C-alpha cells in the first residue's frame, strides 16, 4: 500500500527491544502476565466460540493464545516480526489452528472477513504519540461490528500534571531491582522519557471521538488504566 511520506513508522517506534529475538525469548518471564482475568472479563461480556477477536500489539501471544480455545477466530497483530515468530511457535506447540498472526500495526492492519466482535490491546497503544493514537483508535473501531467490545489496558496517567514528579518518582522507587523480575526503574524511566503514555483525561475523549462508548474505566494505579469500550 502506498503511504504518504509523513506516515508513522510503526516498527521504528515499537520499542527496539521488542524487535530483538533475545529480548523476546526472555519477555514472558519479565512480563509475568496472567491472562485469565482478562479472558474471564471478555467471556462475561459475551465472548464465545463464535466470536472473532483481534489483539492489537499481541506480543508473544500470552492473551491471544489463552483466548483462542474460547473463540472462533483470533487475529494477533504486532509490529514486531520477532514477537510474532514466538507467537506462531507457541500456537503450533499448543495445536491451535484458529489464530492468525498479522505482521502489521494499529495504523496498518486491515481486517479481512467478518467484522470482529472483540478487540483487545494490552500495553501497546502507548507506542503511538497522541495524533497517531487517535487514528489508531479509529482503526480499532473500524475492525469491530457495531456493539463490538474493545478492552484496552495500557500505561495511562490519571494524575494531575502538578503531581507528575511525585507519582513518577514513587512508581520508579517501587520497581524491582533485577530485570528478570520485571520492569526496573531504568526500564520505567525509559518508558516515561521515550514513549507516549497519555493522561486519562486526554485519552478518554479520544476513545469517545473514535466511536466508542466507555462503559467502564478502571485505574488500578495512577499509571495504569483499563477501559471497556463499546463500538457505537
Ligand atoms: C509491552 S509489549 C505488550 C505485549 C502484549 N500485549 C502483552 O501484554 O504482553 C508491546 C507490544 O506492542 C507491539 N507494538 C508496538 N507498537 C505497535 C504498533 N504500532 N502496532 C502494533 N503493535 C505494536 C510491540 O512490538 C510489542 O510486542
The string of pLDDT tens digits covering residues 70-92 is 999 999 999 999 999 999 999 99
Sheet with 212-221, edge to edge strand ranges = 99-103, 73-78, 52-56, 116-122, 144-154, 224-231, 212-221
| Ligand 1 mutation target, pool 9, 21, 28, 78, most atoms within 8 A of CB | 78
Q: How confident is the model at residue 16 (pLDDT cuts 50, 70, 90)?
A: very high
Q: What are the residue ranges of helices labelled H in 61-194?
A: 62-67, 81-94, 130-143, 164-173, 185-194
Residue 1: pLDDT above 80? no
CA distance 76 to 1: 20
> What is the average pLDDT score of the chain?
97
Question: How many Cβ atoms from other residues are within 10 Å of residue 208's Cβ?
Answer: 14
Residue 220: what are its φ and ψ, rounded to 5°?
-60, -25
**If you average pLDDT over residues 61-73, what whole number do you get?**
98
136 CA distance to ligand 1 middle (Å): 13
pLDDT tens figures, 144-171: 999 999 999 999 999 999 999 999 999 9
Cα R_g (the chain), whole angstroms: 17
**Per-residue pLDDT at 172:** 98
pLDDT tens figures, 20-40: 999 999 999 999 999 999 999
60 CA distance to ligand 1 middle (Å): 9
Residue 118: what are its φ and ψ, rounded to 5°?
-135, 140
Residue 208: pLDDT above 80? yes
Around ligand 1, the residues with Cβ closer than 6 Å are 10, 14-15, 18, 31, 33, 56-59, 62, 77-80, 83, 105-106, 122-124, 127-128
Give the domains, in start order, of the chain with CATH numbers: 11-231 (3.40.50.150)
Instruction: Check: CB of residue 106 under 8 Å from CB of residue 56.
Output: yes
Angle, alpha carbons 151-157-162 (nearest 5°): 160
Residue 2: pLDDT above 90? no
- Predicted TM-score (pTM) of the model is 0.98
85 CA distance to ligand 1 middle (Å): 14
Least Cα distance to 90 among 59, 113, 112, 118 occurs for 59
CA distance 25 to 50: 32
**Per-residue pLDDT at 204:** 98
Amino acid at each position: 500500500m502506498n503511504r504518504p511520506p509523513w506516515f508513522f513508522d510503526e516498527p521504528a517506534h515499537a520499542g527496539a527491544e521488542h524487535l530483538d529475538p533475545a529480548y523476546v525469548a526472555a519477555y514472558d518471564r519479565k512480563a509475568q502476565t496472567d491472562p485469565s482475568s482478562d479472558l474471564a472479563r471478555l467471556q462475561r461480556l459475551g465472548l464465545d466460540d463464535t466470536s472473532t477477536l483481534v489483539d492489537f500489539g499481541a506480543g508473544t501471544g500470552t492473551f491471544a493464545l489463552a483466548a483462542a480455545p474460547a473463540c472462533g477466530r483470533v487475529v494477533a497483530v504486532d509490529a514486531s516480526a520477532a514477537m510474532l515468530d514466538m507467537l506462531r511457535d507457541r500456537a503450533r506447540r499448543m495445536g491451535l489452528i484458529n489464530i492468525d498472526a498479522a505482521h502489521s500495526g494499529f495504523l496498518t492492519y486491515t481486517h479481512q472477513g467478518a467484522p470482529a466482535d472483540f478487540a483487545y490491546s494490552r500495553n501497546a497503544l502507548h507506542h503511538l504519540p497522541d495524533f497517531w493514537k487517535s487514528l489508531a483508535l479509529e482503526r480499532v473501531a473500524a475492525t469491530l461490528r457495531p456493539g463490538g467490545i474493545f478492552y484496552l489496558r495500557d500505561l495511562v496517567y490519571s494524575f494531575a500534571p502538578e503531581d507528575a514528579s511525585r507519582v513518577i518518582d514513587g512508581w520508579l522507587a517501587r520497581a524491582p531491582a533485577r530485570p528478570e523480575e520485571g520492569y526496573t526503574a531504568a526500564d520505567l524511566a525509559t518508558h516515561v522519557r521515550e514513549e507516549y503514555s497519555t493522561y486519562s483525561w486526554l485519552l478518554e475523549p479520544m476513545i469517545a471521538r473514535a466511536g466508542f462508548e466507555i462503559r467502564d474505566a478502571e485505574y488500578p494505579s495512577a499509571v495504569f488504566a483499563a477501559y471497556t469500550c463499546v463500538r457505537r
